[in-house]
Chain A
Amino acid sequence: MAKLAVMQRGHPSLQFSLPPSSLSDFHGVRLSSRHGRSGGLAGDASATKKILIMGGTRFIGVFLTRLLVKEGHQVTLFTRGKAAITKKLPGESDEEYSDFSSKVLHLKGDRQDFEFVKKASRQRGREANEVEPILDALPNLEQYIYCSSAGVYLKSDLLPHFEPAQGKLNTESLLQSRDVNWTSIRPVYIYGPLNYNPVEEWFFHRLKAGRPIPIPGSGVQITQLGHVKDLATAFIKVLGHPKASKQVFNISGSKYVTFDGLARACAKAGGFPEPEIVHYNPKDYDFGKLKSFPFRDQELEWTPEFDLVEGLADSYNLDFGRGTYRKAADFTTDDMILSKTFVLQK
């Protein structure tokens, strides 16, 4: 196993070589090494870095990529090449988009096989065995930033007290054991335009249809949402930051919100009237495989620059409110709940 060297901050990235490989196909443009350039948030990521993002074409990656390019970094997206690597955002001009997309390099291939030297930035793999080949391939990796999924659940009573999903822990222990300069970021429920995990969308569908919002239990269960743009900014912050070394970061925001509160915030964000909230006991129903609510009960996680209503409005205005959504509305479970005579009303 290669010993990973931690580069000094501020030095330009090393030049890299592109080895022959039958599985990878490099669609990139500029292959020469770059020297450091100034620019960057808060002066910490001042040197231009070469950033490799595993995936990065959806949701978080979309915003992160834009921010990184804006900061002057050279971004390469490593994908299987099935879909376009960039897409124009709602609200983005053609000019802005083409300027951005022309700067993004694409590396198409199987993530198990690639071997050139760059600085990796983000990993969506959940398992440690997906991470190893990357670490092996990048002996001069300056920093490995790992984004845990939002799989952190609250243990109900004393707060907070989370136990991350096992896969995540294995990855973190691997990173630790390989003496990599790693940083782990744990976001919470991420929301925002292009959210493929329909959190806010679930509420927007019902508000738009003028339907009551069925919320399990008392509705005082709390959760925490983070806006995707804030998460992207968080990545920038940890980039090259010496104090981020070997640290786990929870994207912590100011506030939690109750389930009832979230329904109200979504209504406010979309300009809807105060919603009718219906509470019910999920144990009284058999929903089969259908999901009756987008959150698991008593999730606890966490909010920032985007004030909740502001952030939801951002999501609404740039996505759902324009008629775009990922998952079509399905009110099957709602109707089961509403048809029962002993629905608990608060």
Chain B
Amino acid sequence: MILRTPAPKRARPIEPAPIIESPPVGSDHRQLAIYEDPSSAGPARREPSQQSEHMLCTYQCRQMVKADFLDALSNAEKQVQDYQSKLAELNDNFGKADEERKTFREKLSYVEQELAAAKGREQALHDQLLKEVNDSHERLKKELELSAKLQAKLENEQNLRKKAESTAAAAEDKAKELEAKLGHISKSIEKEKKRFNNELAQLNRDSKFSITKITVDLEKMEFRAKSSEQEVELLRKQQEDLQSKFSECLHQKSELEKRLTSLSFEDDSPKESDILVKHLQEELRNYESEVREARKLKSAHDSIELMKEKLLEEKSRRERVELQLPKLQEYELKINKLEDELSAWKLMIQDIPGVSCCDDVPLRISALQKEVIDNLKKLGEVNAHLKQMQVVLDKTQLDKQKTETEAALAKEKADRLEAEVKRMNLMLSAVSEERNMLKIAIEDFKSKNEQAGGHASSSALQVLKFHSSSFIFLLTLFLLFVIYYLAPFLMITYDFLLVHIQELESSLLKREPYIKELEGDLFAQKDINTRQQDEIKSLHDRLNSEARKVKSLERESDRLRSEIFLLESKLGHGDFSAANTKVLRMVNTLAVGNDAKQTIEALQSELQRTKEKLQALEEYKSQSGNSGKLVDSYMSGKVAQLKEQIATLEKREERYKTVFADRISVFRRACCELFGYKIVMDERQRPNGIPVTRFTLQSIYAMNDDEKLEFEYESGNTNIVENGYTSTSEISQQVDIFVRKMNSIPAFTANLTVESFNRRTLS
């Protein structure tokens, strides 16, 4: 509250004192007009002659003046009444004005309070605005810094992503190329495999052909060998003959020599003996020479045969080589092609970085796949970073929007303050207008008062004037004070707000291109996000498919669990597989013991009984000795008879066996000759313990021993058993027709005998 110093009181205008020329009519306080007798007054003033006239005149004048005065009095009284009424009115007006003043004062105080509150609010708003502006400044700075960092990060990550994409693309291209190469290589490998397989098959065929040839040659050679062996044997025989002859000759020679020596010792040999000896010697020599020649011939023959064999072998080899020569050329061409391909592969492998041999290719591919996976992981991480950046950008946008809204709110507040200031101005103008109106009214009142010449109300009017003027003065002072003190402040805050708003707008304008760039980046990111969302959708689809697979796997697992439950129930039931498990049971010594005990007890009881019987027998024996002997002899006779009977029965059994065997053999021979089949009967037991009789039939017209028919006889039913002979096409047809369709084994066997008979006779 501003202390209103009262305006200095205006010095009242020095007005001349009212000249009271006549005493007021009707007033008690009459002032004696000191009439100065002119005579008494002064000697030289008036003339004495004129004193009577003057006295008359003065009386008339006095009367006239009195009348005039009375008139004037009455007028004045009327005026006074009028002025009094006016005073009253003015008092009323003054009261009203006072009330209005009071109301104005109240209003003033209210306005002052409001002004103070508004000031406080303005200060608070100003502080808030300052804080908000500072905060917004700081936020803007931080956001600018963040955006700069984010931009830098964006750029880095974009670069990284580009690099990763490029590397991933390069890796994918490499992988594709490698896959294509691998495909080519695999195809070529498959082709080569097929070729090799075909060649192998051809070689196998050739080898088989050569083997057959060789076998044929072998057979030929064997035949030749046999023939040569025969010849050798003949030659050996000849040789032996010759050797025997030679030995004979030698023996003869030795004998002859002996004779010769004996003869030479005796006397001179006759010429004939010499000649004989000579002849014999010549014959010996001839025989020796013949033997040598025969040996030579034999050796030559052997060598010739060896040479022939060698020739044949060489011929065969030549033929084989000639046959395989074109193949050699083909093989050489193939080898050249394979070598070229190998070199091409080696070059390809050399082109592939990090691969030195074929075994490294899959490793390299796996390494490349790992690289691709890593790059995809990095891409995912980059995308995650990008998303984070997007989130931050969204946050900055939201903050920007918040600051914009706050700036708008500040603007609105400033507008409101402006409106309030305007209102205040309007109020001021209204108050000034009222003041002017009052001034005018006062001036009118003044003028009227002056015109009326009423002095009696002038003082009241003056008082009124003074009060109203003072009120007006105070009002104006107050308003001026308000205007002078508050308006600048308001203007200051308004200016400050305007400046800040302008600063904010300028900063916003500065940031707009940056924001546009960010928006552009955001759009790009949005495109990337749409692509990633598409990828995510595809991944979702894959996820759904995987989820379906998981569900199917869960169903399988449920099924497996149910199977496990069933198996467990079977286990619990005690089922087992005889192939893997056997059930062992401990000999229950307790039961055995009990059984043993029982048997022991039974045996003991029997023992006691037999003992008692024996005792009784012995007593009986002792009592009757002879009768005991007789009993013994009787018993022994009976035993002998029984033994004889057993012996005769055994002999009879053997006789019956031999007779039956003879009969059986006769019967079997008769059946064979009558029906054409040798029948062999076997008693067998099936795994379930049921005895079964098996009959094996072999036709007498069978070409070999494998042509056998087998039948099983069981409780009146005869069934054919399948074997290798019956599974042949001819026999199986007959079995289907005669046995299975017509249910007649005799017809089958008869048909078979006829067919085999026809076959035998025709062959």
Q: Do A and B bind each other?
A: no
Which positions in A face B, CB cutoff 8 Å? none
Residues of B within 8 A of A (CB): none
